[in-house]
Every structure is written in structure tokens, then in C-alpha cells.
Structure 1
Amino acid sequence: MIVGLAWSGAQVARADPFLDEIVEFTGEILYLEHKVPALVIGVVRNGETSIHGFGERAGAGSKAPDRDTLLRIGSITKAFTGQVLAHLAADNRVRLTQPLTKSWPDLAVDAKADVEHIRLIDLATHSGGLPREVPHEPGSEQDPFAPITVQTFADWLKKEPLLFKPGTSVLYSNFGFDLLAMGLSKATNQPYPELLKQYITAPLGMKDTVFTLSKEQKQRLMQGHGFAGEPLPDVPTGDVIVGAGGLYSTPNDLLRWMQWHLDRFAESGAEARLLDHSLYLMRDGLETVSGMDESGHMDAMGLAWVAMMPEGDRPFILQKAGGLQGTFSYIAFAPTRGVAVFIAINQFNFAASMAMAKVANELIATLAPR
């Protein structure tokens, strides 16, 4: 169990005991109900932060996860990619509506897919007409993602038509977000990890939000587990899967990131924040929506953020879930109410995953009722 702390800038202080009480009790009940090996929950409200961990982070006899525990955040990575896009658009380095092929014309050469009609905003809202995964040969257990290369993406576009006209439907797509990261790299002539560092992790001091762990960081990693409870290896995702997944982070870093999102009247980053929190596709009017409702009903899409309109006591929420190598995670925030919640468990357990998203959404309603 972890003492809840809060920070203001570089200063760290104890959280409001009332907030601590609510967060700890919520996390403990969720942990006891689902019996996962470990669970960590973090909340930021009006600048005060509370983080609590339960269970064993890395096997029998290990400590509970804490604010500095490294974990794989899976598809929460997509929300970082959307924010990088927002920063680049705010800096006039790209336009949200520019075609992917504007800076990557070779992609359209001999392509069967109507790739020239795919815009950056289509990729960032899962509406590019691409499948969930790029088809590829299976990899080894030690390096399962190795067969996914840039050429794999280009080959599919040359052989297959788009599944639907971009912008008309939504289909959850890892393919699309990795393609988006490649497109941003092409547009700026910078490797995507450098863009992430330049615009997000370095300015916010997120030293533990990385694609590759150092030896010291590996010592703080939370062990993931499969559906039967078996430990899963921490395998690399390579240098291609950087837009859809691949990031590691800590509860401390993620709530620091949330504080940036909740500081909605700050002058620094104001335009990027506005672009990142805007809604670009309303569910009403789309032909089909698939793969978006597991963590709460999608009412609209932002830049990777799934938007949920106010309902009952619950305020407007932007949220994103992730799952990779035996870890499920979920992050959600109420941008107008100063509250964000992060929860992660270290086992592939669908019931627990859906429960933690429901608990997080309800916790936001508890801490910021309408």
C-alpha cells in the first residue's frame, strides 16, 4: 500500500486525506474483487495526486506497485501520438486535414488502396479505412513484432483496397496509428521518438516514459501475466510500433501528463491542448462504429481520445485504454473538472479490465459530480 502524495511543480506534498481515503478504498475493493496479481490506481484532482498500489509487482514476495513502477501502457500510447499531432499542427508543421501522402508520396505509388484520400485526422480518429492490424507473418516468442516493418504497411496498401471511405466509419486500428507516427516522422524529417520527447516527455519531465528501458528501469518493471495467470516475458515492440503501442511509463509520469491536460487555461501549450481536446467525429452520422465501446460508450472521437458525453452525475470524459504483454491499463479525465484517473492491472483479465474502466469513470463522477 502506498501513501498518497501530491506535487505542485517540483514540490511534493501529502494529498488531501479525504482524496486519499476515497482513492485507496476504491483501489482496494477493485483489487480484492478481481484477485489480479497487482493493481495500481492514481488520481489527480485540482493539482493534488494520490497513488495506491496493491498486490505483488513482480512475483511472490515483491512489493506492491508504486508511483515509480514501470509498466507497459499499450494503446494509451495512441493518445501521446494524437498529442504530438496536435503540437505539430499548432506549430504549423502539419495540417490535420493534409493527406498522408503529402509528405510520403511514395506510399501511393502502385497502391490499390485509395491511400491518397487518407488524411492525418482520419488516422488519428480510427477512420482511415484500415484494418485493426497490418497482416504479417508470425514472429518468435522472443521477438513477436519483428515481422512488422514499414514495408509491411506499404505492401498491404499496394495489394488491398481500403475497408471503407476515410471519415465515414470508425474501426479501431493499430495499423492506422503506426502509419500516423510514420507520417509525422516523414513530414518533419525527424524520428517519431524524437518528436515525442521534444513535445511531451522532455517539457513535462516524464523521464520514465520511454520506448526502451534502461537497466535501472527494468528493476522497477511490473510483471505482466497471461489469461491463465502465467508470467509473460517483456518483449520488444521494435522501432515501427511506436504510434499505436510500445511505450512504458509510470503512474507518476502519467499523472504529471494528466496535469498538463487539466491545466486548460495555461498559456503554455494552449493551442495544442485545444486541438487535442477537440472532437472531430461524432458517432451520430457515422455509418459504422466498431471496437470503441469496451471502456465506455464512444459518443465522439478526438485525437485518439474516446469522448463520452455527460450522463447522470458523470461529467464529460476523454478516455483511452491499453493492453500489452499481460498488462491492462486505463486513463480518463474530465477536462473541465480538474480530475483524472489512471488504473492498471498486471494480468490479461477481460472482466477486471472492463471493471476498472467502469470504476474509473464512476470515480470521476464521485470526485467531480455534475
Structure 2
Amino acid sequence: MTLGTAAHADNLSAAPTDAEILNILTDRIDKQQQSVGIVVGIIDANGRRIVAHGHPAKGDPRPVDGRTVFEIGSVTKVFTALLLADAIEKGTLRLDTPVSALFPPGVAMPDDKEEPITLKDLATHMSGLPRLPTNLDPTDTSNPYADYGTAKLYAFLSHHKPLRRPGVEHEYSNLGAGLLGHALALKAGLSYEELVISRITAPLDMKDTAISSQPGWAERRATGHNAALEPVRDWDLNALQGAGALRSTTNDLLIFLEAAMGKTSSPLAPAFTMLLATRQPLGNGGDDQQALGWVISGKGDEQIIWHNGGTGGYRSFVGYRPSTGIGVVALSNASTEVGVDDIGQHLLNRNAPLAPANARRTAITVDPTSYDAYVGTYRLAPSFELTIFRDGDRLFAQATGQDRIEIFPEAEHRFFAKLIDAQISFTVTGTRAGSLTLHQGGRDSPAPRIEK
């Protein structure tokens, strides 16, 4: 019995075969229709390998591969944290350096008088800053960060009143990560992209990781797709590039991951080590921790170090399991709810389940004038709102900084989205809703109506 149990455990921690991975990708793309093209990269005892399925765009017969360029979204945050760690290793910054010390004169930070927001606070999402700035009001919701420049960023910082002091509570903040990238670039006297190239991608010989288009990219770039697998435009992050602006390939991210895992020697080795030396509890009731950039999940042999990402047309996952020496990169050119997180987690730990196919929901017929009761703005978080509006006989929901999505009635006061796995139920008193509840990802998030 002991030998059998040990063999089973070894099998669960072994690197998956190419056939197993291809079966997962085929099911995700061809059966579930949850992407157009997915590329998976694996690092194990035998080196690197690539398994891919699908195409760069709908109607494009070419296959995706390790050289296909994707937006990597919030995986960029690990690069931003690495820039900080590298600067600390070089002696030019400290974790407790106040962010305000890096800004030009006249730019104010929403600091507590006794506890200013530090670089560590930004890198660990403990700054007290909201997920998004409240003055993010894009003129083009299909490219929501494009017109959010430094003037708007500085205006927000000058007027924002924090709800809590830094270091008190973990709150994932795209604003904070973007602000960190901006501050580091100011300190270096370079653009964020120039800083990433000079300190990370050039030393690691990553030739296909950047923000702006690089030589040879035109014929290798994937097209992003929304959850309905319709093509969408790429995102430009302007002042908040450190939160999610990078584009890369699976081949390049495998180079990055090998360096992070210590499988290759690099001048960034001390900085990679520093990323994991600072940890904060995520506060989600489990064992998860927030390191500098990375998220650390699980304990002991099952511990996984990872980050994911998503933009309007892409999903990404990068992670590794120290106990097995296995690393995984997964990139998809569709912004579907299921994404590729479950694939990455499953390939690192067979006990982690793959996401089930979305349940099929059926829309019922209602009088479109009944939609008027739901129209309005609802606050899910201090800087995150959900706006419900009617367009003719159709009802739409639009979250802060995101595209609108159509929602469909499935029962009285209850609606569902087809583009993502999410439902909304309204609490109606009299002739209009006073609140709604967003049902998504196993969570029920209430949101009261606010007057605007």
C-alpha cells in the first residue's frame, strides 16, 4: 500500500505530458469555445517545451506557437516588482522609501501624516489606494486606460482621501501597481518600457517582451477577443503601464520563469530572491500570501508561486511549484471568464481541478419597459461601480473601466450575462431597484444604488 500511495503522489506531482495538455486545450477551445488560441509552456527536469492549439485570430489558418505575441496584462506587475527589487539591490532605493520622494515638486500623495505610502506598500497592495482611480472616465471604453495620463493621475493623488492607513489591509490595486511603475521610471529618468528593457529583458535576452511593437511582431501578434470571441482592440495603459502594459511570448516568459526559479544564472538572481522575502497575508481566510509582485498559494509541497493577467482580449498565467521544479506559462487570446488560471494551476498540481463548462442559461421574454426599474449606478466598492442602462429593448451592465456587456432576464429581477459567467439579481421596492447583488466566481457581492 505504501508503495502504491507514493507512486500515486509522484504521478500527481509529475509534469503533464504533451498529450494531456493538448487534450485540455482542445476541450477548452473546440468544445467549450473559451478561446481562439492558447499556448502553454512547461519547464521541468527535461527543459522547456511548448504545447499549443488554435489560431492567432478567428479565420486565420495559422497556428499559435511559442513565438506568438500576446498581451500579458497583470503579469506585468511581477516585472514592476522586480524593477523595485533590482533598484534596492543596487542601493538606489529602499522598501520603506516614501513614494512621494520620487515625485516632482508640487505632486502630492494622499499620505497619512505619520505613515506615508511606501514602495513596499505599492508592491504588496497594502497602500490603501483603491483598485482603480475614481477619475478613470475613459472616452473609449474599449481602450479604458488610454487617456489616463499623468495629469489625471496627479489630480487623483492630490484630492484622494484614503479610507485606511497604509499597511493595514490588503486591497488589490491596479492603481497602486501602475503608480509604482511610474515612480520607478521617474527615479531612473526613463520611460517604463525603457526601464523594463534595460534592467530585465536585455539582461535575460528576452527579445519579444515590450510595450511598443518590436521588429517581426506584425506577423506574429495574436488578435484579442472578448468572451463572445469577437475581435477587440488592444489596450494602451498610458500612466499606469506598470499595472499591465507588457506584451510577450510564451518563449520569452519561459526565460523569465527559469530565472525566477533559479534554473538559470542571471544578474537578477538576488532581485528574484528578494521578491519572495517580503510577504503579507492576503486576508482571504486561507494560506495565500502577497509577496513583492508574486502571489504565494498553498503550503509545503503544494505551494505555488504565481500571477495571472487579463486585458480586454487576453488572459495569462505564469507560475511555478518549488517542490517539483515545474513551471507553467499559459497565454490565451480571449478574455473569457474561465481564462487560463485553472489550466496553469492544474498543470502545477493535479489536485487543482479544471474549471467546469459554464452552465447554459435560458433567457425569458419580458416587457422591455420593466428594465427602467433597474437603470442606475450601483457601488460595489469605493472605487468600483456597476452602471445599468437600457439601449432600446436591451439591458446592459458596465463596470468601472470595462466594456459594457448585455444582460438577459432569466427570472423576475434576475439577469445573466452570456459573455462572462456572472448573474445579477435586483432588490426592487416600489417602482425601482434599491440595490443589486453580483453573483460571480462563487461570491455574492451586494451593491447599493447611488445617486449621481
- TM class, shorter-chain normalised? 0.7 to 0.9
Q: Give the whole-Å Cα distance in 1 for the aligned partners of 2:183 and 2:210.
A: 20
Greater helix proportion: 1
Contact 1:124 1:177 in 2 (8 A): yes
Structure scoring higher RCO (CA < 8 A, sep ≥ 6) equals: 1
Q: Which residue of 2 aligns with 1:360?
A: 344
Q: Which residue of 2 aligns with 1:320?
A: 307
AA in 2 matched with 1:224 = G
AA in 2 matched with 1:317 = I
Deviations 1:81-114 (A, max 9, x none): 01111111111111111111122263664x5553
| CA positional deviation for 1:215 | 6.2
Gap regions ≥5 residues in structure 2: 1-13, 352-452
AA in 1 matched with 2:190 = Q
**Residue number among 291, 302, 316 corresponding to 1:302 in the alignment:** 291
Q: Give the whole-Å Cα distance in 1 for the aligned partners of 2:155 and 2:121.
A: 20
Q: Give the whole-Å Cα distance in 2 for the aligned partners of 1:298 and 1:230.
A: 38
Q: Give the whole-Å Cα distance in 1 for the aligned partners of 2:23 and 2:172.
A: 33
Q: Give the whole-Å Cα distance in 2 for the aligned partners of 1:263 and 1:274.
A: 9
Q: Which residue of 2 aligns with 1:137?
A: 137
AA in 2 matched with 1:128 = S
Q: Does 1:178 align with 2:174?
A: no
Greater strand proportion: 2
Deviations 1:24-62 (A, max 9, x none): 344334434532222221111136112111122222142
SS in 2 for 1:222: coil
AA in 2 matched with 1:20 = D
Q: Which residue of 2 aligns with 1:11?
A: none
Q: Which residue of 2 aligns with 1:333?
A: 320
SS in 2 for 1:155: helix
| CA positional deviation for 1:320 | 0.8
Deviations 1:182-232 (A, max 9, x none): 211222333322221122100111111010113630221111111222110
Q: Which residue of 2 aligns with 1:151?
A: 151
Q: Does 1:345 align with 2:329?
A: no
Contact 2:126 2:168 in 1 (8 A): yes
Contact 2:179 2:240 in 1 (8 A): no
Contact 1:78 1:245 in 2 (8 A): yes
Gap regions ≥5 residues in structure 1: 1-15
Contact 1:107 1:154 in 2 (8 A): no
SS in 1 for 2:302: coil
| CA positional deviation for 1:160 | 1.7
Q: Give the whole-Å Cα distance in 2 for the aligned partners of 1:272 and 1:42.
A: 24
Q: Give the whole-Å Cα distance in 2 for the aligned partners of 1:142 and 1:365.
A: 35
CA RMSD of aligned residues (A): 2.7
SS in 2 for 1:216: coil
Q: Give the whole-Å Cα distance in 2 for the aligned partners of 1:260 and 1:103.
A: 29
AA in 1 matched with 2:346 = E
Deviations 1:238-270 (A, max 9, x none): 3x2320011110000011111111116847433
Q: Which residue of 1 aligns with 2:116?
A: 117
AA in 1 matched with 2:293 = A
Q: Give the whole-Å Cα distance in 2 for the aligned partners of 1:279 and 1:270.
A: 16
Assess, with a 3 A threshold, how the Cα gap between structure 1 residues 107 and 252 changes in structure 2: closer, same or farther.
farther
AA in 1 matched with 2:246 = L
Q: Give the whole-Å Cα distance in 2 for the aligned partners of 1:101 and 1:217.
A: 37
Q: Give the whole-Å Cα distance in 2 for the aligned partners of 1:86 and 1:140.
A: 35
Contact 1:298 1:306 in 2 (8 A): no
**Structural mapping, 1:144-293, within 5 Å:** 144-214=144-214, 216-238=216-238, 240-263=239-262, 266=265, 268-283=267-282
Contact 1:113 1:157 in 2 (8 A): no
Q: Which residue of 2 aligns with 1:31?
A: 29
Assess, with a 3 A threshold, how the Cα gap between structure 1 residues 231 and 18 changes in structure 2: closer, same or farther.
closer
Contact 1:19 1:50 in 2 (8 A): no
Q: Give the whole-Å Cα distance in 2 for the aligned partners of 1:60 and 1:316.
A: 40
Larger Rg: 2
Assess, with a 3 A threshold, how the Cα gap between structure 1 residues 105 and 335 changes in structure 2: closer, same or farther.
farther
| CA positional deviation for 1:126 | 1.0
AA in 2 matched with 1:77 = T
Q: Which residue of 1 aligns with 2:80?
A: 81
| CA positional deviation for 1:316 | 1.4
AA in 2 matched with 1:64 = P
Deviations 1:288-340 (A, max 9, x none): x5xxx9xxx661111121110237xx621111111113111111112353211
TM-score, reference length from structure 2: 0.68
SS in 1 for 2:240: coil
Assess, with a 3 A threshold, how the Cα gap between structure 1 residues 122 and 235 changes in structure 2: closer, same or farther.
closer
Q: Which residue of 2 aligns with 1:8?
A: none
| CA positional deviation for 1:18 | 7.3
| CA positional deviation for 1:169 | 0.8
| CA positional deviation for 1:64 | 2.1
Contact 2:146 2:235 in 1 (8 A): no
Contact 2:281 2:289 in 1 (8 A): yes
| CA positional deviation for 1:172 | 1.2
| CA positional deviation for 1:180 | 0.3
